[in-house]
Amino acid sequence: MSRFNAFRQGIAGGGILIALGIVVLVGVNGVPTDPVSAIVLACYVFAALSWLVGSVRDRISLGVTTTSWSDGIALGTGVFTLGWVVNELSSIIDGSDDPVTLSTVVMPLTALFFAWFAYECWVNGLYLDENVFATE
Protein backbone atom coordinates (compact mmCIF):
# COMPACT_ATOMS: atom_id res chain seq x y z
CA MET A 1 0.00 0.00 0.00
CA SER A 2 1.36 3.41 -0.95
CA ARG A 3 1.76 6.26 1.52
CA PHE A 4 -0.92 8.14 -0.40
CA ASN A 5 -3.51 5.38 0.11
CA ALA A 6 -2.50 4.78 3.72
CA PHE A 7 -2.82 8.48 4.50
CA ARG A 8 -6.22 8.74 2.81
CA GLN A 9 -7.48 5.65 4.66
CA GLY A 10 -6.25 7.13 7.93
CA ILE A 11 -8.15 10.34 7.18
CA ALA A 12 -11.27 8.28 6.41
CA GLY A 13 -10.87 6.44 9.70
CA GLY A 14 -10.50 9.74 11.55
CA GLY A 15 -13.66 11.07 9.89
CA ILE A 16 -15.56 7.94 10.90
CA LEU A 17 -14.30 8.23 14.49
CA ILE A 18 -15.34 11.88 14.66
CA ALA A 19 -18.79 10.96 13.27
CA LEU A 20 -19.17 8.15 15.82
CA GLY A 21 -18.10 10.54 18.58
CA ILE A 22 -20.80 12.97 17.45
CA VAL A 23 -23.43 10.21 17.54
CA VAL A 24 -22.35 9.20 21.05
CA LEU A 25 -22.21 12.82 22.22
CA VAL A 26 -25.69 13.61 20.93
CA GLY A 27 -27.01 10.24 22.16
CA VAL A 28 -25.76 10.83 25.70
CA ASN A 29 -26.32 14.58 26.05
CA GLY A 30 -29.07 15.22 23.50
CA VAL A 31 -29.04 18.01 20.97
CA PRO A 32 -27.26 21.04 22.49
CA THR A 33 -29.40 24.03 23.33
CA ASP A 34 -26.77 26.56 24.38
CA PRO A 35 -24.96 28.45 21.60
CA VAL A 36 -21.40 27.41 22.50
CA SER A 37 -22.22 23.69 22.48
CA ALA A 38 -24.15 24.05 19.22
CA ILE A 39 -21.19 25.82 17.58
CA VAL A 40 -18.77 23.18 18.85
CA LEU A 41 -21.01 20.39 17.55
CA ALA A 42 -21.28 22.14 14.18
CA CYS A 43 -17.46 22.34 14.04
CA TYR A 44 -17.21 18.60 14.70
CA VAL A 45 -19.84 17.81 12.04
CA PHE A 46 -18.01 19.99 9.49
CA ALA A 47 -14.69 18.31 10.30
CA ALA A 48 -16.15 14.81 9.99
CA LEU A 49 -17.77 15.63 6.65
CA SER A 50 -14.66 17.30 5.23
CA TRP A 51 -12.45 14.38 6.29
CA LEU A 52 -14.85 11.82 4.84
CA VAL A 53 -15.29 13.70 1.56
CA GLY A 54 -11.57 14.46 1.32
CA SER A 55 -10.70 10.81 1.81
CA VAL A 56 -12.76 9.58 -1.16
CA ARG A 57 -12.58 12.45 -3.69
CA ASP A 58 -9.54 14.05 -5.32
CA ARG A 59 -11.33 17.32 -6.05
CA ILE A 60 -14.01 18.90 -3.85
CA SER A 61 -16.61 21.19 -5.43
CA LEU A 62 -17.34 24.36 -3.50
CA GLY A 63 -20.01 26.20 -5.45
CA VAL A 64 -18.46 27.43 -8.69
CA THR A 65 -14.90 26.44 -7.80
CA THR A 66 -13.10 23.25 -6.91
CA THR A 67 -10.29 22.60 -4.47
CA SER A 68 -7.97 19.69 -3.80
CA TRP A 69 -8.77 17.07 -1.21
CA SER A 70 -5.89 18.21 1.00
CA ASP A 71 -7.29 21.75 1.22
CA GLY A 72 -10.64 20.35 2.37
CA ILE A 73 -8.93 18.26 5.02
CA ALA A 74 -6.88 21.27 6.14
CA LEU A 75 -10.02 23.35 6.52
CA GLY A 76 -11.80 20.54 8.38
CA THR A 77 -8.83 20.07 10.71
CA GLY A 78 -8.66 23.78 11.44
CA VAL A 79 -12.37 23.97 12.20
CA PHE A 80 -12.13 20.84 14.38
CA THR A 81 -9.25 22.38 16.34
CA LEU A 82 -11.12 25.65 16.76
CA GLY A 83 -14.23 23.86 18.04
CA TRP A 84 -12.23 21.72 20.43
CA VAL A 85 -10.31 24.68 21.88
CA VAL A 86 -13.55 26.69 22.27
CA ASN A 87 -15.10 23.73 24.10
CA GLU A 88 -12.13 23.39 26.47
CA LEU A 89 -11.87 27.12 27.15
CA SER A 90 -15.61 27.48 27.74
CA SER A 91 -15.53 24.64 30.27
CA ILE A 92 -12.69 26.38 32.11
CA ILE A 93 -14.38 29.79 32.01
CA ASP A 94 -17.78 28.62 33.24
CA GLY A 95 -16.14 26.64 36.06
CA SER A 96 -17.23 23.14 35.01
CA ASP A 97 -13.59 22.08 34.57
CA ASP A 98 -10.66 22.64 36.89
CA PRO A 99 -7.98 24.77 35.17
CA VAL A 100 -5.24 22.33 36.23
CA THR A 101 -6.57 19.09 34.76
CA LEU A 102 -4.72 16.94 32.27
CA SER A 103 -6.93 18.05 29.38
CA THR A 104 -6.18 21.73 29.94
CA VAL A 105 -2.46 21.01 30.10
CA VAL A 106 -2.49 18.84 26.98
CA MET A 107 -4.91 21.06 25.02
CA PRO A 108 -2.38 23.72 23.88
CA LEU A 109 0.12 21.11 22.69
CA THR A 110 -2.51 19.09 20.87
CA ALA A 111 -4.01 22.23 19.34
CA LEU A 112 -0.56 23.20 18.05
CA PHE A 113 -0.14 19.73 16.53
CA PHE A 114 -3.54 19.94 14.79
CA ALA A 115 -2.71 23.45 13.55
CA TRP A 116 0.60 22.16 12.15
CA PHE A 117 -1.18 19.23 10.49
CA ALA A 118 -3.76 21.58 8.93
CA TYR A 119 -0.92 23.76 7.63
CA GLU A 120 0.86 20.72 6.18
CA CYS A 121 -2.31 19.70 4.37
CA TRP A 122 -2.85 23.25 3.11
CA VAL A 123 0.65 23.59 1.63
CA ASN A 124 0.67 19.95 0.38
CA GLY A 125 3.52 18.72 2.53
CA LEU A 126 6.18 21.23 3.49
CA TYR A 127 7.73 18.88 6.08
CA LEU A 128 5.81 15.72 5.22
CA ASP A 129 6.36 13.74 2.04
CA GLU A 130 4.69 15.67 -0.78
CA ASN A 131 3.84 12.40 -2.56
CA VAL A 132 1.27 11.79 0.19
CA PHE A 133 -0.65 14.85 -1.03
CA ALA A 134 -0.54 14.05 -4.74
CA THR A 135 -3.76 14.56 -6.66
CA GLU A 136 -4.34 12.22 -9.55
User: How, if at all, do strands 59-62 and 65-68 pair?
Assistant: antiparallel
User: Which letter, b or e, does each residue of 12-35 get, where b requires 16 or more Cβ atoms within 10 Å of its Cβ?
Assistant: bebbeebbeeeeeeeeeeeeeeee
Residue 59 has a pLDDT of: 82
Helix (H, G, I), strand (E, B) or coil at 63: coil
Q: Contact at 8 Å (CB) between 20 and 47?
A: no
Residue 48 has a pLDDT of: 92
CA distance readout (Å), 115 to 33, 69, 82: 28, 17, 9
pTM of the model: 0.80
pLDDT of the chain, 136 residues: tens digit per residue: 677 778 888 889 989 999 999 999 899 988 888 888 888 899 999 999 999 998 888 888 778 888 888 888 889 999 999 888 888 888 778 776 666 677 777 888 888 998 888 888 888 777 777 677 666 6
Q: What are phi and psi of 65, to 5 degrees?
A: -120, 165
Residue 130 has a pLDDT of: 66
Helix (H, G, I), strand (E, B) or coil at 60: strand
Residue 20 has a pLDDT of: 94
Q: Contact at 8 Å (CB) between 100 and 85?
A: no
